[in-house]
Amino acid sequence: MAASEYVLLAMGVSSVVASVSKLTFARATASRIAEVLDEPAMRYGDERLPAVDAGGAVGDGSGGAGLGNGGAGRESGSGLGRLDFRQVTVRAADGGVVLDGLDLTVPGGALVAVVGRSGSGKSLLAALAGRLLDPDEGEVLLDGVPMPRLARDELRRAVAYGFERPVLLGETVAEAIGFGPRRPSADELVAHAAAARADAFVRHLPAKYDTPLSQAPMSGGEAQRIGLARAFVQAGRVLVLDDVAASLDTVTEHHISRVLTGALADRTRLVVTHRASTAARAEHVVWLAGGRVRAEGTHGELWTDPGYRSVFQSAGPAGPDRADRPDRVHRADRADRAGQSGRSDPPDRPDRPVAAPGGAP
């Protein structure tokens, strides 16, 4: 009899502990929700983007959703999607300066890599490029229009993001890929998924693209490919990729780089990266240090600086023999070899080879 009473007592204590644990988790969740709700609403204007840039290139006001000929006949860096950062300063929650009077111009239609050590402000710069937050000082312009003056729908159709750890929204895989202001056709959706190397594993899901997200377990790399496909769908004038190669194997990263330099070459592509191989394929590299632009140029030009090479040093020894090969802060954090074989991704790993200039395909 005594033993059974002890069992009942233990069960009661266990139930109380479980309830307290759930309550603690609920309070923490409520605190995070309140933190988001307390953020002041971002104000928007009513202006529209120019349909013609200074060089005479014609656009539809937001860019197209299709994967076309990569802007054949257009000179890279001469199209729509020019970004101007003018004396931009952003402070962290503790008052420390993260970006300090930064001046930078990203030419329209150019592929620009942003590199630098952790804490140099790379992801913060990416957040500013699509107005996920506003600078404390200075301004950011898109095609000559200060971003706060733009209508909300105009800005969201013009700029798309790809993140290292994307949040997938929608009921099904197809809805997750097409989520956003631009609604792709079924053929466009599949084409963008294939461009992100997501089509093969999606077709192995129970209902393929109609598989509910809750029934589509994905590795980190697979979820990232879905997020990339969504970014490709929504890319209007500007595509911002914030360290998306971090969870991708080098073969997939090489394929994505080819898409950026091919089918999406008519968009402005701002790519935050820790990989020298990605920087080597960019037309222009921006090197951030101490919240400012330390230097700009091609990967080959910057490679002559030992400080630049040291940015990638943690990935392995630097030098010409390592030729490229296919083998914020608090506020910004709050704002947002499987290949085509169909197999699950290999475990995520830090494949970050250091690329000497001249090895990019």
User: Can you give the pTM of this predicted structure?
Assistant: 0.74
- Number of domains the chain contains: 1
- Residue 255 in any domain: the answer is yes
Instruction: Round to whole Å and give the CA distance between 226 and 173.
Output: 8
- Looking up tokens 């091919």 gives 262
- Cα-flanking dihedrals φ and ψ of residue 114, to 5°? -115, 120
Domain annotation covers residue 261: yes
Output the pLDDT for position 157.
93
Distance CA 155, CA 145 (A): 11
Let me know: does 262 contact 238? Beta carbons within 8 Å. Answer: no
Structure tokens of 354?
């250091």
Residue 288 falls within a domain, yes or no?
Answer: yes
- Hunting for tokens 């159709």 — which residue is that? 157
Residue 91 structural domain = 83-335
The four Cα atoms 231, 83, 41, 87 give a dihedral, to 10 degrees, of: 140
Give how far Cα 123 sits from Cα of 62, 102, 154, 177, 271, Å: 23, 14, 23, 23, 10
Q: Do the domain assignments include residue 265?
A: yes
Position 315, amino acid = A
Q: Please indicate, yes or no, if residue 6 is contained in any of the structural domains.
A: no
Instruction: Give a yes or no: residue 89 inside a domain.
Output: yes
Q: Which two tokens stand for residue 172?
A: 């099904």
**Spatial distance between the Cα atoms of 35 and 33, rounded to a whole number of angstroms:** 5
Which domain CATH number covers 253? 3.40.50.300
Contact call for residues 257 and 233 (beta carbons, < 8 A): no
Within-domain flag for 225:
yes
CA separation for the pair 164, 243 (Å, rounded) = 6
For each of the chain's 361 residues, which pLDDT tens digit applies?
Answer: 566 666 656 666 677 777 777 888 888 888 788 877 777 888 999 999 998 655 555 454 444 555 654 444 344 445 799 999 999 999 988 888 999 999 999 999 999 999 999 889 999 999 999 999 999 999 999 999 999 999 999 999 999 999 888 888 889 999 999 998 988 899 999 999 999 989 989 998 999 999 998 888 888 888 889 999 999 999 899 999 998 877 677 788 888 888 888 888 889 999 999 889 889 999 999 999 999 999 999 999 999 999 999 999 854 433 333 333 323 333 333 333 333 333 334 333 333 334 444 443 3
Residue 31 in domain: no
